[in-house]
Amino acid sequence: MRVLSFVLLLLASLPSLADTHSELYQAAGWPEQRAHFNDALTAAQERYRSSLPPAVFQALVTNSNQRFAPLAIDQRAQQSLREALADPKPALQFFQSPLGRKIVQAEVLATRRDQLARHADGLPRIEADATRRLLIRHLAQALPAEAAGAEVSLALAGVAADSLSQMLPGLFGGDSAHALLNSQRQRLMEQIGADIDNTLLHVYRELSDPELEEFVGFAQSEAGKTYYQAALTALRSGLAVGQSSADLAPAPQGI
């Protein structure tokens, strides 16, 4: 009887746990960032139009639209977040706070299509005093910003490779594909890391020094470390980095 009661209690708690993860997904700005990724995907597709044969280009558009369908991205990312983040409440509490909402607004603004176009040739150099630069350095060390940027770049770059691989089986298969992916990831992280402080100074320019200090405190805390590690895993899963179209199972329903 006690076993049955425990099972019923566990089943009753599952919806609330799922709701908490969904609330965190919303509060941390994932849907807006996914929409911005899809904008970037459309732009990337157009860049390939003039450099690929028509058949390959059409395969690229079809494959990438299926792989990066908004619902599919959201489902993969949310499922991964649930698996990697046992307790979403501390992160949810932070992102629902006034500071958390301000941080999300800044991040969403920075990846908006018009902002990316405006700074296509590079971000302006941000002047800051020693205190602010130190806070930004601590933040850069705590956030997986370089890794996240690399995953987004790899996802966008992979759409052409995936289409070519489908038309020419074996072209990017085997261990060579994984080795190439890892070498590209490391190179991208190094490129992003070379200017990460100025990037973060730009993104969080509206935050005061005390707000930055509080942000750093969360990012360096156990709750923050756990969230950002889970978030990076969820980002990679959502964008299916390193997976071929054949590897992707149909997205589960009801998430």
Compute the Cα dihedral for 96, 102, 104, 109 and give only its sign: positive
pLDDT for position 254: 44
Residue 253 backbone phi and psi in degrees, to 5? -95, 155
Band of residue 202 on the pLDDT scale cut at 50, 70, 90: very high
Which alpha helices (DSSP H) does 85-144 contain, by range?
Answer: 89-95, 98-110, 113-118, 130-142
pLDDT for position 157: 77
Distance CA 227, CA 230 (A): 5
Tokens 């329903």 correspond to 253
Domain chopping of the chain, boundaries: 24-238
- What is the CA angle 79-183-125, rounded to 5? 85
In 3-72, the DSSP E strands lie at: none
Residues 55-65, mean pLDDT to the nearest whole number: 84
Band of residue 1 on the pLDDT scale cut at 50, 70, 90: very low
Of the ranges 48-52, 72-76, 219-223, 237-241, which one carries the lowest mean pLDDT score?
A: 48-52
Per-residue pLDDT tens over the stretch 99-152: 999 999 999 999 999 999 999 889 999 999 999 999 999 999 999 999 999 999
Contacts of 173 (CB under 8 A, 6+ apart): 165
Contacts of 156 (CB under 8 A, 6+ apart): 40, 41, 44
Between the alpha carbon of residue 186 and those of residues 55, 142, 251, the distances in Å are 32, 18, 29
Q: What tokens does 61 get?
A: 């558009």
Contacts of 161 (CB under 8 A, 6+ apart): 172
pTM: 0.83
Distance CA 153, CA 185 (A): 9
Distance CA 215, CA 196 (A): 16
Residues 169-191, mean pLDDT to the nearest whole number: 66
Neighbours of 134 (CB within 10 A): 15
CA-based nearest residue to 39, from 105, 114, 120: 114
In this structure, the chain runs to a length of 255
pLDDT for position 218: 98
Distance CA 26, CA 21 (A): 9
Residues 150-177, mean pLDDT to the nearest whole number: 65
Query: Residue type for 110, please?
Result: A
